[in-house]
A and B are shown apart, each in its own frame.
Chain A
Amino acid sequence: MAHNISATGDTTYTLSLQQKLATLLGFTGLFILLLATFNVSFPNKTLWLTLSLSAICVGIVWFGVNQYQNKIAGIKNDGIQFSSLTSRGILAWMLGLFLTGFYIVLYFYPQYLGLTAEDQNNTGIIALFDPLSYLLSGNPASQWFVYGTFYTIAVVFFGIKFIYKYRHNHYQRLRTFSVMFFQLGFAFLIPEFMARLNSESFSLPYYDLKNIWPLNHYNFEQYRVDEFISAGNIGIALLIFGVASIFIITPILTYKYGKRWYCSWVCGCGGLAETAGDPFRHLSDKRLSAWKVERWVVHSVVVFVVVMTTAVIYSYLGDASKGYWLTRDTFLIGVAILLTLVFAGVIVFKRNEFKKDALYGAVGYLAIILVLIGLHYFQGSQLFLFETETLRSTYGFLIGSIFAGVIGTGFYPIFGNRVWCRMGCPMAAILGFQQRLFSKFRITTNGGQCISCGNCSTYCEMGIDVRAYAQKGENIVRSSCVGCGICAAVCPRGVLKLENDSMKGRINSNDVLLGNDVDLMKLVNER
C-alpha cells in the first residue's frame, strides 16, 4: 500500500475532530517551548512553563483516549500498516529526523538549548525550566533536567494512553503503571529531592537507584565513588546498593521472573519504549540475519563495558603500599575469578543449552581475559594503545550517547522502539544470558492452537520470530525477550502465555501436541 501524507493514511483512518484539537493543543505547548529555545523572553516563566507542559500533557491524553474511547476494549491495531507515521512514511522520517536532531543538540550542543557557563544565568528553553528545577531540587535547570522532564512526561502521559488502549488487559495495565511509577519517582523526583540534601559538607552524586550498572555505565567512576565514600553511611549504603543491584538483586529476580522484571517493569529506556514507543513496536526487524547481528553487537557491548569499567576502576585503585585491602591486583584477580566462575559454571551445568552459543561466550570471555592481562602487564593507565580515559569517553560517546540516544530513541519511527534494548544494552544482554540459561520464565505455547497468522512476530518489539516457535508448539525461551506480553495480547487464538514455572521442561524442543495421535508424534520426533 502506498503511503499517504495524512497522519493516518487512508481516509478511513483520518483524525477525529477531537484528535485534531488535541494535536493542536499539544503542538501549541511545543510551540511555546520552541519560542523559548529561540530566546523569546517570557515575562512569567512559571506561568508559561505550566501552560506549555499542561498543553502537551493534556494533548497527549486527549488524543490517546479519543482514539480508543468509541471502540470496544480489545486489540485495535487497525490501520497501523497504512499510517504514514507508523509505517515508515514521510511523517515517520520527519519525526525521526526531529528526534535525532534533538538528541544531537542535547548531547553535543547544549548551548543551543540555553546552557551557559556556571556563573551565568541560563537562557533559552533551559531558563524556562528554571522555576520547576528550583521547586524540586533548589538548583537552576540544566539540559539534563529539561530532558528528564520531557522523558518523564512522555512515559507518564503516553503511558496513560497505553493503559487505555489495553484497558482489557490487566498484565499490560499493571506493567505500564509500574514503569510510570519508576520513571516519575526513581528517575525524576527522588534524585531531584536528593539534591536538596547536598550542602558544602555533604554531597551525593545524582543517582537514579533503578539505573543499574552496566546500563548505568558511569556508576563506578572515580568522582562518584569518591562522593559516595565521603558522604558517610548513606553514601556507602548507596555504593553497596549499586554493587548489590547487579550481583545479588538482579540474579534473584531474573531467576524468579525473567528479565522482564527489569526491562518492561522498571527500566527507564524500557519505559519510554513501551509507552511513547508503542506505536512503532512492529517495525523491529524479524529476519534471521538481524538476530545474528544482534547477538554479535549486543555481546560486544557487554565486553566493551566490562573492559571499560574494569580499566576505570583499576586506574584509580592504588597498590599495596596504600594500606587499603582493595588493591589493583586484588581487583583484577577478583574480576578474573568472577568471570571464570560464571563461564565454567555455564559450561559444566548448562552445556546442553549452551552448545550453539558457546562460541559467542568464549570469544567474549577470552577478549576480557586478554585485556585484563594486558592491563596487568602495562601497570598503568595505558590499556594496550588506549588511555583508560579514552576508553571511558569513547564508551560514553559511542554507546551512551549515539547508540542509546540518537539511534536508540531518535530512530523509533524507523527501526522500532527497542533497537537500543535489543542491539546495544549490556544490561539487557546480561539479564538475557541468565534468562536463557537460568530462569523460571518462559512463554508457553498452547498446544496446537497456533494458526501461524503472524501477529505475535509482527508486534514483538525485540524482533523475535515468536510464530516460528508457536507454530511448532514449542515454548519461547529467548534471551532477548523482555516479557512485555504483547505477543500474548495480540494472539487471536489464545496461544501464548507468559509464565514463571519450574525449570524442568521449560524448553520443549520436540514437536509436541499439534493434535495428532501419539504414535505419529513419536515418529515426527525421531529424526
Chain B
Amino acid sequence: MEHVIIIGNGISGVTAARHIRKLSDKKITIISGETDYFFSRTALMYIYMGHMNYEHTKPYEDWFWEKNRIKLKKAWVSKVSPNENKITLATGETMHYDKLIIATGSKPNKFGWPGQDLKGVQGLYSKQDLDLLEENAPNNKVCKRAVIVGGGLIGIELAEMLSTRKIPVTFLVREHNFWGNVLPEKDAKAINNHIKEHHIDLRLNTNLKEMIADKNGRVRAVVVEETGEEIACDLVGLTAGVSPNMDFLKDSGIDFGRGVKVNRFLETNFKNIYALGDCAEQQETTGERRPIEAVWYTGRMMGEVVAQTICGNKTAYKPGHWFNSAKFFDIEYQTYGWVFPQPRDGEAHFHWLHEDGKKCITINYQIASRKFVGINTFGIRMRHEVFDRWLTEKHTVDEIIENLEQAHFDPEFYKRYEKHIKEQFKNELKINA
C-alpha cells in the first residue's frame, strides 16, 4: 500500500489527508512536532483572550483520526532525503514514503534587528509561541508594556490580545497607515482610528532600530529608528510578516527560493514530493495572486487539489476569485476580488464611510469599461457567493451598486446602508460627469 507522509498538521496538510482518505485507501501519516492534533491556528488569539480553550480550537474530535485511518505522529522532521524516499526525524528515526507532502507553514520574519533573539522577543504563529506568550505576558504586572513591530494582521491580533489583559501596547508600523501596503488609505485610516480608540499607542511611519537587553539577557526596551527614542517594555512582538518554514530542507536537493518551488500541480522538482500552503512558492502564479500565499483559504484549496493529483486525477491549482477576511478589534473585514492600496492605471476607487467611522466599503473598478474589480467591506457583512458570481459574470460597478441588497449578509434587524451608499455613488457620478 502506498504510504503518503504529510509534514505539518495545519489546514493544508490536514485537508490533503482528509481528501486523500475520501478518494483512496492509501496509508496516511501526518507528522507534526507542534501539537498532537490539528487545531485552528487562526484561533490562537482566542485562547489567550479566554474566549476559548485549546480543546475548543480542534475542528475534529480526537477519535476522528483513528476512525479515518489517518496516523498522527508527534515529531520534528530534521531531514528529507528525496533520492532514498526517506525522512529523518529529530530523534534519529527514519521513515519511508512513497509520496511526501510538505505543508510546514510559516515562521515569523526576523530582519536581523539587533537583539531579535533576546528573551521576551517573540513572534506569534505556533502553539509554542502562544505558550511562550503566556510566560512572557501573563498579566500587566509581569509585562508592564509591550511593543509590537509590524502593522499587519498578526500585529493587530497581538495588540487586541494584550489589551484584554490590560497590558499597555505600543504598536510600531513602518507604513503611513496600519496595513498600508494592502489597504487603501481611507480604509486604513478608519482602522487607525479604531486602534487608537482601543488605547493602543499607534506609531505610524516608525521603524524599529534595535532591542536592548537587561543584565539577564531579557529585553528591557526598544529603540526607534527615526527618533532614537527608547521605549521601555517587557515584551516585543515581532509581527512583520511571515516566511516559509523550510530550514530542514536546506541540503535535501529540493528546489526552493523564498519558499518551496512548485509547479501548477504543486509538485516540487521531485515527482513524488509536493508542497502546499504557506510554505509553497508558485513558479507560475494565477492572475494577481502572489507566488506565496500565506492564507488559510488557499492552504485549504491546495490540500483539496493535491489530494486529487495524488489519487490519480492530476489536477492543477486553479484558485477561483480572490477573497479574504480578518477582524480588527471590533471591526470585521471582508474582501472579494482585488482592491489595491492605490488604484492601478485605468482603475478608480469608490469609497463610502459611515458617520460612526466604523463601517465602510471601497469598491475598485475599471474607469473605461466600468467593470467591477473588487470590494473591501468593513463592519458590514457581504455574501461571498453573490460577489463570486458577480466577478465571474463580469458585472459593472453600476450593477453592483444597484443590486447591493442581494449581497447583504448582516444579521436580521440590522440597519441597512445600501440607500446611503447608492446616494453617495450617484452624487459622485454627477460631480464627475
Chain A contact residues, CB within 8 Å of chain B: 1, 9-13, 72-75, 77-83, 87, 168-171, 174, 282, 287-288, 444, 446-449, 451-455, 457-458, 467-468, 471, 485, 488-490, 492-494, 497-499, 512-520, 523-524, 527
Instruction: With A79-B50, A517-B319, A520-B304 given, name 17 new contacts (CB 8 A).
Output: A83-B50, A446-B381, A449-B384, A452-B59, A453-B43, A454-B40, A454-B57, A454-B58, A457-B56, A458-B52, A485-B411, A494-B381, A513-B388, A514-B297, A515-B300, A516-B305, A523-B313
In the complex, chain B residues whose CB is within 8 Å of the CB of A11: 139, 141
B98 to chain A, nearest CB (A): 22
Choice from B40, B321, B410 contacting A453 with Cβ under 8 Å: B40
Q: Which residues of A contact B198 (CB under 8 A)?
A: 72
Are B50's CB and A77's CB within 8 A?
yes
Q: Using known A-B contacts A81-B51, A447-B385, A516-B319, determine if residue A454 contacts B329 with beta carbons closer than 8 Å.
A: no
A–B Cβ pairs within 8 angstroms, 7 of them: A72-B198, A73-B330, A81-B47, A449-B323, A471-B59, A514-B300, A524-B19
Known: A11-B139, A447-B388, A453-B46. A519 touches B318 (CB 8 A): yes
A454-B413 contact given A78-B164, A81-B53, A449-B334, CB 8 Å threshold: no
Given contacts A74-B330, A457-B56, A493-B332, contact A451 B296 (CB under 8 A): yes
- B326 to chain A: which residues have CB within 8 Å? 493
Q: Which residues of A contact B40 (CB under 8 A)?
A: 451-454
Closest 4 CB pairs between A and B? A447-B384, A74-B330, A494-B381, A453-B43
- Which B residues are in CB contact (< 8 Å) with A174? 413
Residues on A with beta carbons closer than 8 Å to the beta carbon of B384 = 446-449, 513
User: What are the residues of chain B within 8 A of A493 when measuring CB–CB?
Assistant: 325-327, 332, 334
Contact A12 B383 (CB under 8 A): no
Instruction: Judge whether B344 is part of the interface by a CB distance below 8 angstroms.
Output: no
Cβ of B311 to closest chain A Cβ, rounded Å: 10
Q: How many residues of B contact A (CB 8 A)?
A: 62
Known A12-B166, A170-B413, A523-B313; judge A449-B59 contact (CB<8 A).
no
Contacts known (A12-B140, A78-B51, A516-B304); A288 close to B61, Cβ less than 8 A = yes
Q: A454-B52, A492-B332, A493-B334 are in contact. Are A449 and B325 (CB under 8 A)?
A: yes
Name the residue of chain A whose CB is nearest to the CB of B38.
A452
Provide the bound-state CA to CA distance between A87 and B22, in Å: 37
Cα A357 to Cα B40 with chains together (Å): 31
Q: In the complex, which residue of chain B has the Cβ closest to the Cβ of A82?
A: B50
A171 touches B412 (CB 8 A): yes
User: Once the chains are docked, how many angstroms separate the CA of A82 from the CA of B139?
Assistant: 13
A523–B297 CA distance with the chains assembled, in angstroms: 18
Q: Report A513 CB to chain B, min CB distance, Å.
A: 6
With beta carbons under 8 angstroms apart, the residue of A80, A452, A494, A498 that contacts B51 is A80
A194 to B315, CA, bound (A): 72
Q: Are B414 and A170 in contact (CB under 8 A)?
A: yes
Are B61 and A12 within 8 A (Cβ)? no
Residues of A within 8 A of B298 (CB): 515
- In whole angstroms, how far apart are the Cα atoms of A83 and B50 in the complex? 9
Residues of B within 8 A of A524 (CB): 19, 304
Q: A520–B305 contact, CB under 8 A?
A: yes
Q: How far is the CA of A1 from the CA of B48 in the complex (A)?
A: 10
On whether A520 and B52 interact (CB within 8 A), knowing A12-B140, A453-B42, the answer reads: no
Find out whether the CB atom of A497 lies under 8 angstroms from the CB atom of B140.
Answer: no
Point out the residues of chain A lying under 8 angstroms from B43, CB to CB.
451-455
Binary CB contact string for chain B from 146 to 163 against chain A (1 if under 8 A, 0 otherwise): 000000000000000000
Residue numbers in B under 8 Å from A520 (CB-CB): 301, 304-305, 308, 315, 318
- A306 to chain B: closest CB distance in Å? 34
- Cβ of B367 under 8 Å from chain A: no
